[in-house]
Amino acid sequence: MTTLEVQASAPPSGRSRALGRRTAELLRSPGLLASYLWVAVILAAAVHPGLFVSGDPLRQDASQMLLSPGAGHLFGTDDFGRDQFTRTVWGTRLSLQAAVIAVAIGLVSGSSIGLVAGALRGRVDSVLMRVVDIMLAVPSLIVSLAIISALGRGTLNIAVAIGINSTAGFARLMRSEVLRVSNAQYVEASVFAGHGYVRRLFRHVVPNASRSVLAAATMDIGTAVLTVAALSFLGLGAPPPTPEWGLLVAEGRTFIGVQWWLSLLPGLVIVLTVLAVYRIGRSFNRGRTRVVA
């Protein structure tokens, strides 16, 4: 058999099989496919808002005040004559940036604490987990408000507060996954293969334990988007007239009885984004049991 024939008859790689399963899952699930498409649009709007709008989100026009949604203004205009769709698109960058920063802070800090606790165990594990328990015992909103009060208002400070607040959840999840994977048969078998503890930890335990944590982080982005919008709605985020999703919803409250679209349409964008991210994260979570041996 020639080399070409051997290559042609070789089984597909693990990465190719995973890609094939992901493609088949997308074709079987229109909701998952729609979620990916929506998230792709949101990411494009965050990176390059000019792809969707050409106007200035801060431009005021007294002759265009409080117009209904139409061909010229898809989301209508606010009480300063600013195009609401343009402001919503430009607000995507700030809202999504804050959510990603928040999840990154919680993921890195929480996973590090959980990894140390699960790997060292004993007294170190006990001390770290008691600290985590204290963090979980305090209501998250109170913690976020306390951190924002110390750091000051602003979307970045909101992201830091949410990230610190989510550290405990990631720490507990990483610790539990490290303990679970450490007791797996293939990890115990590596002891007889002569692998040292550090090698077992970073070759077998960490890659497999990280899958559940990364899946949780994906879903947590949706939660972070919602929390950032909620705190901005309360006036703790970016100051007006900066376009930000939560602030846009808050600004439309004054006219909710007449120009209801000012709050509803940006709020609908927030809801769709959270649902789409959660749907994608849930699909990752279903496949997290694959073993990296």
Cβ-contact 224, 293 below 8 angstroms: no
- Other residues' Cβ atoms within 10 Å of the Cβ of residue 6: 9
Q: What is the largest CA-CA distance in the chain?
A: 79
CATH 3.30.1330.10 given to domain 17-55+77-286:
no
Question: DSSP class of residue 202?
Answer: I
What residues does 77 pair with on adjacent strands? 83
So where are the chain's domains? 17-55+77-286
Cis before residue 241, ω within 30 degrees of 0?
yes
pLDDT per residue as tens digits for the range 121-167: 899 999 999 999 999 998 888 888 888 988 888 999 999 999 999 99
Taking the whole predicted model, whether its pTM rises above 0.75 is answered as yes
Average pLDDT per consecutive 10 residues, the chain (293 residues; last block may be shorter): 42 59 72 93 95 92 91 91 95 94 96 93 93 90 87 91 94 93 76 71 84 90 93 90 94 90 95 94 66 40
